[in-house]
Amino acid sequence: MRDTQQLISNNLMVMDDPKSVVSEAFRLLRTNLQFVGVDKPLKKISVTSSNPGEGKSTVTANLAISIASTGSKVLLIDADLRKPQINKLFFLENYKGLSSLLAGDLPVDSVINETSIENLHIITSGPIPPNPAEILGSTKMKQFLEKVSPMYDVILLDSPPVNTVADTSILSFNVDGVILVVEVGSTAREACILAKEQLEKVNARILGVVLNKVKQSGGGYYYYYYYYGEGSGKPGRKRKRRG
């Protein structure tokens, strides 16, 4: 296990300003996930989007920090083996990671990064492989998640956009649920519907949706908004940050 006291990206608002309204929004998201998993706690959660560039990696990273701040031990895995971002957000080296672990015989400890954030460990994507879907759907991936699951309270996986590749649909077989990130004003309604249909085809449990970058009329504010995916009966609340 590598001990990395790394720099932190200013996109990680929960770390940068824990008293901000954005941090409060992620605390709300964290709480809502606890309610969704009231009967059976959610252990492994995948975060995806309809298309690239909707902010799924930033949302995943901020959620990981928010959960870790409660004392829960969190493992953040960059499972986007096509366009990884987690290493950039946390300024981590990425010469080895998830792809290295699954393609070779590396011990799990050798790819886990300890961070300056208490209770948060990270596995970066590693080198981009020629066959991401096959790797994520492999028996080794399933065995890896089974091995690390008892070591952590929550495992968050930053997954590729569901409409562009099959990776997330394949990965959904090995997680307890999926969160869909949508960028308002950019993501077409049809793309959102298609993403939902793609996940439903493989019987993925859609936990809910995070609406990202909802701009307030007449002001420079952006919102994060979360609502339950199953059995909630009501949406969550909006939270804003300065743009």
How many domains does the structure of the chain reveal? 1
> What Rg do the C-alpha atoms of the chain give, in angstroms?
17
pLDDT, tens digit (0-9, with 9 covering 90-100), for 178-193: 999 988 777 788 998 9
Residues whose CB falls within 8 Å of the CB of residue 155, separated by 6 or more in sequence, listed in order:
43, 44, 45, 74, 75, 77, 145, 148, 149
Indicate which CATH number applies to the domain containing 85.
3.40.50.300
What is the domain range of residue 59?
A: 2-242
Question: In terms of C-beta density within 10 A (0-12 exposed, 13-18 middle, 19 or more buried), how is residue 130 classed?
Answer: exposed
- Considering only the C-alpha atoms of the chain, give the largest distance between any 2 of them, rounded to a whole number of Å: 55
Return the residue matching tokens 């939270």: 239
How confident is the model over 124-136, as a mean pLDDT? 94
pLDDT, tens digit (0-9, with 9 covering 90-100), for 167-178: 989 999 999 999
Q: How confident is the model at residue 90 (pLDDT cuts 50, 70, 90)?
A: very high
> What is the pLDDT at residue 9?
59
Q: Which of 73, 76, 74, 136 is nearest to 101 (CA)?
A: 136
> Rounded to whole angstroms, how far apart are CA atoms 209 and 211?
6
Structure tokens belonging to residue 28:
């709300």
- Higher pLDDT: 220 or 125? It is 125
Tell me the one-letter amino acid at 188: A
- The answer to whether 119 touches 105, Cβ cutoff 8 Å, is no
> Rounded to whole angstroms, how far apart are CA atoms 25 and 15?
13
> Rounded to whole angstroms, how far apart are CA atoms 91 and 241?
24
pTM: 0.86
How confident is the model over 49-77, as a mean pLDDT? 94
Q: How confident is the model at residue 7 (pLDDT cuts 50, 70, 90)?
A: low
